[in-house]
């Protein structure tokens, strides 16, 4: 067989294998919501590879003496009057709303959340810009809240809404991960407003932009309409 012919057949086989792998990945939930577009291949490879290669692995945890002396408070707290009113009152009137594909939607005050089992972790917050710090975060494991509200099997993503208008989402794999917390405490005190208080989502196996601050609502859905953004949806890298 000539070289050209062999290459042609090899190329064809590789193409077919690629198409089959892509379909299989889609069916096994290994394609991220931003798998199309010019960077879709890269986003998908990273998401699928990291899901397959890292499974349920825990983010690295550190010892107490490795906690950073100064954590970096990035950005500004919400400027809205609503937020300032809630803050003036020590967030006593603040509530977290849980809805979407859950059997028992509901609202939780800070006191409600604190009455539930809590989890703590000393992990690193890594910003996509390049900086990082280590802190201890305390809060309600999202997995616990999922049981409490009865997340439905068809839920595939969790969307978190912040009081400053930010919205971000994670898949159920990360939502159920034991280190994913709805945090209200940091380094032994209440979570400071500068660090996202009263409630910050912590997803330590992804970059900092998935650790949404000022969360006031989470909702479960089976479909994600990706907001037009150049930032990859999956931020495990």
Partner 1 sequence: MSEPQSRTLPSSLIDAHFWYYPVVAHPPRHCLLVRVTHWITTLCFLALLVSGIELVISHPRFYWGEEGHSLTPALFQIPIPASRAHVKTGYDFVLPDQNGWSRSLHFQTAWIVVFTGLIYAAFSLRSGHLRRNLLPAQLSWATLSESFANHLRLMPPFTGGYNLLQRLVYLLVIFGLFPLMIWTGLAMSPAIAAGYPFVVELSGGHQSARTIHFFATLALVLFFVVHVLMVYLAGLRTRLLPMLSSRYPAPEEQV
Total of chain residues touching partner 1, rule CB under 8 A = 42
Q: Which of residues 110-129 bind partner 1 (CB under 8 A)?
A: 124, 126-129
Least separation in angstroms between residue 228's CB and partner 1 is 10
State the sign of the Cα–Cα–Cα–Cα dihedral 132, 134, 138, 141.
positive
If the CB atoms of residues 107 and 132 are measured against partner 1, the closer one turns out to be 132
If the CB atoms of residues 112 and 129 are measured against partner 1, the closer one turns out to be 129
- Choice from 25, 59, 122, 170 touching partner 1 (CB under 8 A): 59
If the CB atoms of residues 130 and 153 are measured against partner 1, the closer one turns out to be 130
Q: Which of residues 199-218 bind partner 1 (CB under 8 A)?
A: 204-207
Q: Which of residues 129-158 bind partner 1 (CB under 8 A)?
A: 129-134
- Choice from 6, 60, 64, 85 touching partner 1 (CB under 8 A): 60
Q: Is 50 in the site for partner 1 (CB under 8 A)?
A: yes
If the CB atoms of residues 59 and 102 are measured against partner 1, the closer one turns out to be 59
User: Can you give the binding site for partner 1, defined by CB under 8 A?
Assistant: 39, 41-43, 45-46, 50, 53-55, 57-60, 62, 66, 68-70, 72, 74, 124, 126-134, 204-207, 229-232, 235-237
């Amino acid at each position: 067989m000539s070289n050209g012919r062999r290459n042609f057949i090899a190329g064809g086989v590789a193409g077919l294998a690629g198409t089959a792998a892509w379909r299989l990945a889609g069916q096994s939930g290994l394609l991220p919501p931003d798998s199309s577009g010019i960077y879709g291949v890269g986003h998908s490879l990273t998401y699928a590879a990291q899901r397959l290669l890292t499974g349920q692995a825990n983010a690295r945890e550190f010892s107490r003496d490795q906690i950073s002396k100064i954590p970096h408070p990035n950005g500004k707290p919400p400027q809205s009057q609503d937020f300032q009113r809630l803050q003036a009152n020590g967030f006593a009137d603040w509530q977290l709303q849980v809805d979407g594909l859950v059997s028992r939607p509901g609202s939780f005050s800070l006191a409600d959340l604190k009455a539930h089992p809590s989890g703590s972790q000393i992990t690193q917050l890594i910003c996509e810009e390049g900086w990082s710090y280590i802190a201890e975060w305390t809060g309600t494991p999202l997995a616990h809240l999922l049981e409490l509200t009865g997340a439905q099997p068809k839920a595939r993503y969790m969307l978190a809404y912040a009081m400053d208008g930010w919205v971000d989402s994670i898949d159920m794999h990360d939502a159920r991960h034991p280190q994913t917390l709805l945090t209200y405490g940091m380094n032994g005190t209440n979570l400071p407003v500068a660090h996202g208080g009263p409630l910050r989502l912590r997803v330590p196996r992804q970059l900092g932009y998935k650790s949404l601050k000022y969360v006031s609502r989470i909702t479960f859905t089976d479909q994600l309409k990706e907001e037009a953004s150049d930032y990859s949806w999956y931020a495990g890298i």
